[in-house]
Amino acid sequence: MSKNSYPYPPDEFDSVDPKSRPQEVHAARRSTWSRVWPFVVVIIVVPIIAFGVVKVLSAWDNPGSGGGDPQNTPTITDTQTVTDLPAVPPDGADIVDDAADDAVDISDDQSVEEFTVDRTVQVAILNAKGEQGLAARAGELLRQDGWSAVEPGDYEGSEIDGGSAVYYGKNVWSASAESIAGILNIALVEKDTEGSPDGITVILRQDFLL
Please indicate, yes or no, if residue 169 is contained in any of the structural domains: yes
In-domain check, residue 170: yes
The model carries a pTM of 0.47
Total structural domains within the chain: 1
Which of 188, 192, 185 lies closest to 209, judged by CA?
A: 185
- Phi, psi for 44 (deg, rounded to 5): -90, -45
Structural domain includes residue 148: yes
pLDDT at residue 109 is higher than 50: no
Residue 139 in any domain: the answer is: yes
- Is residue 100, in this structure, part of any structural domain at all? no
Please give the Cα distance from 89 to 169 (Å, whole number). 48
pLDDT tops 90 at residue 61: no
154-209, pLDDT tens digit by residue?
A: 998 777 678 999 999 999 999 999 999 999 999 999 999 998 999 999 999 999 99
39 inside domain: no
Question: What CATH number corresponds to the domain at position 140?
Answer: 3.30.70.2390
Burial class (CB in 10 A: 0-12, 13-18, 19+), 117: middle
Residue 165 domain-assigned? yes
Q: 184: domain range? A: 123-204
142 occurs within a structural domain: yes
